Amino acid sequence: MKGVLGGIFAAATLAGLAVGASANDELLQMQQNPKEWVMPTGNYANWRYSELDQINKGNVGDLQVAWTFSTGVLRGHEGGPLIIDGLMYVHTPFPNTVYALDLNDEQKIVWKYEPKQDPDVIPVMCCDTVNRGVAYGDGKIILHQADTTVVALDAKTGEVAWSVVNGDPKIGETGTNAPIVIKDKVLIGISGGEFGVRGSLTAYDLASGERVWRAYSMGPDSDILMDPEKTTHLGEPVGKDSGLNTWEGDQWKIGGGTTWGWFSYDPDLDLVYYGTGNPSTWNPAQRPGDNRWSMTIMARDPDDGMAKWVYQMTPHDEWDYDGVNEMMLVDIEIDGEMRKVLVHPDRNGFTYTMDRETGELLVAEKFDPVVNWATHIDMETGRPQVVDQYSTQHNGEDVNTTGVCPAALGTKDQQPSAFSPKTNLFYIPTNHVCMDYEPFRVAYTAGQPYVGATLSMYPPEGAEHMGNFIAWDAAKGEIVWSLPERFSVWSGALATAGDVVFYGTLEGYLKAVDSTTGEELYKFKTPSGIIGNVTTYEHDGKQYIAVLSGVGGWAGIGLAAGLTDPTAGLGAVGGYAALSEYTALGGQLTVFAVPN
């Protein structure tokens, strides 16, 4: 099949990409079963796509609520459930309770795990007390707690198999991201870029919890797990101590680059992909240089953590455009040649299409026309061409800057996109928000906020909406269609073989749209705003759609934490003040089906 996607690869990827002898055969096989949902993003390629088609664009308008479940926790509910062997695993924000529900027995609670955590971790969590989900592997459910403890639970009984501490909340390190199980390892990131944490990715033995390796985002080559002659950036060796000599003095030790987003894996190339976050402090005048390797796409060997290639999207970030968003793995035809690529819609407002084997930059285009901080990406150097008017520093001095688009929460934050091999399109939930940015000098104190900027957020000039849900052509770098939403779309999308795409809104609506045209086919308002990721599964011959609702996250932090100062929540409280007119706090799983 010609066009955007190669059909042969599409089928191969959905079936688990290529099954290598050393890969985790269990998960590679399990992700082929559309009746279950065995990974937070559906499969290793991060497609968030299901082959189920019982619910389709012809009958999706008949969806009704099949059952609901209260999590017992308020604040922001990100992520979504796993469905494995007749059990559904539901997680919550802090205190990170995990429930196993029996789908064969009226959703009876088979077991419940409620960790005992010090509530002092709550004020150290940047943007609400969210958790993006649990992982499964080798009969274990893996939980990453807010206090950074990684726990392996027996999937059938909930008993603790092992636990290990991944960081230290006293210096601002917290846990919010979903783990990924690759081969015999659990890979986990770290949060805390707003507290001067130095980001890292850590691998633990799946059987024992023993630490196998840790790769930092910046520092000496030995810390980054980087060979200066073999690791490449746009095809060229990175050179010795790239994670040191692009920083002034010892700033790299509190340099940010945290790793709180999503991971993907290509078992054929045996590479794991992820992004790193903002450099610390937000104030760029305090950290001269490119600040490598913050704001970077990393491709690593999961066995030893060694970096094969890296690409820094926003060198010397001045706006908090974390690079942690998902990498979706597909084959794509560009200039008549099929390429193994990753597609990454970044916070900075550009969607990148890159050769995932070599790190070559193939396409980089804006996915919201209002993006103005840079004119374009130089395809030779890979560097954004920054518009001086929207820089937040001049000659090393702080500059108060107005009208920067996107705002710090980006054209898209962590809310994961979906990809359909039927349409060859990517469905991206986006923010349509700009900001005023006032940097100020800040001193580092362990465990205290290390931001150095005050923000105000608002819709772009002339716009009344703060979000769009778009369909994206990754080969051409073009928007195919775009649906405006009153607030940012903070929900993860789901694409299905029924030619329907699902997403949630901050007001609390679950929406279903035609995957080809974007026509709205169905909507239902759940009890609270949706920042969770839509999931589907089949049980006893019937397809279901499931989504967590519970307003919060960065966009909903004002509601979640009861904040009223417009500049609180790193500027989000004022920007989303009207959200309280449409929804309130909650914590509920809502499951939908079409009646027989």
Catalytic residue annotation: 320
User: Three-class SS string for 128-187?
Assistant: CCCCCCCEEECCEEEEECCCCEEEEEECCCCCEEEEEECCCHHHCCECCCCCEEECCEEE
If you write DSSP's letter for every residue of 226-274 in order, what string do you get?
A: --TTTSEETTEE--TTTTTTTSSTTGGGG-B----S--EEETTTTEEEE
CA distance 318 to 398: 10
Host H or E run for residue 10: helix 7-14
Q: Pick the closest to residue 166 from 205, 124, 202, 218 (CA basis).
A: 202
Give the long-range contacts of residues 555-558, CB within 8 A, separation 24 or more: 555/409, 555/413, 555/431, 555/487, 555/488, 555/490, 555/506, 555/531, 555/579, 556/76, 556/128, 556/490, 556/506, 556/529, 556/531, 557/76, 557/127, 557/128
* Under 8 Å between Cβ of 145 and 115: yes
Q: How many CA atoms lie within 13 A of 38 on its CB side?
A: 25
Peptide bond just before 282 cis, omega within 30 deg: no
Residue 429, number of CB atoms within 10 A of its CB: 27
Peptide bond just before 406 cis, omega within 30 deg: yes
Q: Which two tokens stand for residue 313?
A: 């999207």
Q: Pick the closest to residue 392 from 324, 321, 466 (CA basis).
A: 321
Q: Which two tokens stand for residue 387?
A: 């518009």
Q: Which two tokens stand for residue 284?
A: 């760029």
If you write DSSP's letter for every residue of 541-595 in order, what string do you get?
A: TEEEEEEEE---TTTTHHHHHT---TTTGGGHHHHTGGGGGT-----EEEEEE--
CA distance 239 to 224: 13
CA distance 364 to 376: 8
DSSP-derived pairing of the beta strands 494-496 and 49-50: parallel
CA distance 417 to 367: 13
The 8-class DSSP code of residue 533 comes to B
Residue 73 amino acid letter: V
CA distance 28 to 183: 10
Residue 153, φ and ψ in degrees, nearest 5: -110, 140
Terminal C-alpha separation, the chain: 36
